[in-house]
Structure 1
């Protein structure tokens, strides 16, 4: 006998179905052309049902974005406790490579994000918040390196973190759109060298 789903389990399934269908349509049509009605139709749900979970497509996309960014946060949150400048360089190089590789791998949804930021104040604001989370994490790593005598103490951790993130973000978008003229291996090496030479003590 098939187990009867609880109300909570049904709600979880319905929400997941909406998110799955929304992602499919966003990737197929782009953010602007996709409507909440199309998402509801593909999910096979009653028109009012979707609005129990999301009030509009912006909210749907923000949830997809947060799920996607969880993978990027996993890279950013990797343990950073180097004992030497050489060890720090290896950690940073690995993070840069993983960050750009992940962006390339998830290029379809990332392209939708690029479009959505120009079409939705809500999504653009969420991306700004996400940026700040990454910048804060980088500044924590810089402060660690400074306090352990690996990096120059006169530099402002947040300022350097902001510049470092923006440099990586620029190449991230180029990797996503296929416009980048460099391989990820080249970017990983060159960006790390610039960062290390400017911040760390030889």
Structure 2
């Protein structure tokens, strides 16, 4: 097996395990066993479980952006792209059995005291907010708009984040569907 294939296999296994059962409930031995690799191979690519977590967060953030871009690429109008963001999450929650956001899940259990990991998570969320801000700034001005563009951006971001968490807790997409309806009224 090529070196890059081994790294990919380790990372794919860790992604699945960290997302499905959590970082703290996943041991290095389980990653090694399920990836079908030697211990030395894991430590050749990742110096520690924390290093593997850092790579996981990077990979998941990149994957998220790619998936979102594919989902939104047919949508050209900012309003449709903003609502498409909610649609993306409705589909993603369904496809992951309401697993929720990887960053929120990892943050809840592993990032508390680690400034580097905290910054990775914060950057991911800030990038999401920036995506929303870009689309909001492209919306045509409306006289009846009671929210500034900055406040609308923050409102949509928090609405989406809260809906994702609630959909995960409730194990259904109703919170996201309701949030999408609210967003449609706001924009």
1:54 and 2:35 aligned: no
Shift of 1:15: 0.6
Partner of 2:89: 99
Cα deviation digits, residues 55-77 of structure 1 (max 9, x gap): 22333234334444445424368
Counterpart of 1:85?
A: none
User: Does structure 2 conserve the Cα–Cα contact (< 8 Å) formed by 1:111 and 1:177?
Assistant: no
Aligned counterpart for 2:56 among listed residues 58, 64, 68: 64
* Contact 1:21 1:43 survives alignment (8 Å): yes
Structure 2, unmatched stretches of 5+, are none
Question: Whole-Å Cα distance in 1 between the matches of residues 57 and 159 of structure 2?
Answer: 21
Listed as ranges, the gaps of 5+ residues in structure 1 are 83-87, 197-202
Residue 170 of structure 1, CA deviation: 0.8
Task: State the secondary structure of the residue aligned to 2:24.
Answer: coil
User: Hey, what does 1:75 align to over in structure 2?
Assistant: 68
Deviations along 1:35-83, whole A, 9 cap, x unmatched? 223312333333232122122233323433444444542436836753x
Aligned partners of 1:32 and 1:116 also within 8 Å: no
Distance 2:58 2:120 in 1: 9
- Please show how residues 1-202 of structure 1 align to structure 2 within 5 Å: 10-27=2-19, 29-73=21-65, 74-75=67-68, 78=72, 82=77, 89-107=79-97, 110=100, 113-121=103-111, 122-145=116-139, 148-150=140-142, 156-179=148-171, 182=174, 184-193=176-185, 195-196=186-187
Deviation at 1:117, TM superposition (A): 0.8
Q: What is the Cα-based RMSD across aligned positions, in Å?
A: 3.4
Moved more, 48-57 or 117-126: 117-126
SS in 1 for 2:174: coil
Q: Greater Rg, structure 1 or structure 2?
A: 1
Aligned residues of 1:171 and 1:180 also touching (Cα < 8 A): no
How many residues align structurally? 180
State the Cα distance separating 1:99 from its structure 2 match.
2.5
> 1:19: how far off?
1.5
- Cα 1:103–1:65 shift into 2, 3 Å: farther
Assess if the C-alpha contact under 8 Å between 1:136 and 1:158 holds in 2.
no
Q: Please give the secondary structure, in 2, of the residue aligned with 1:34.
A: coil
* Matched residue SS, 1:17: helix
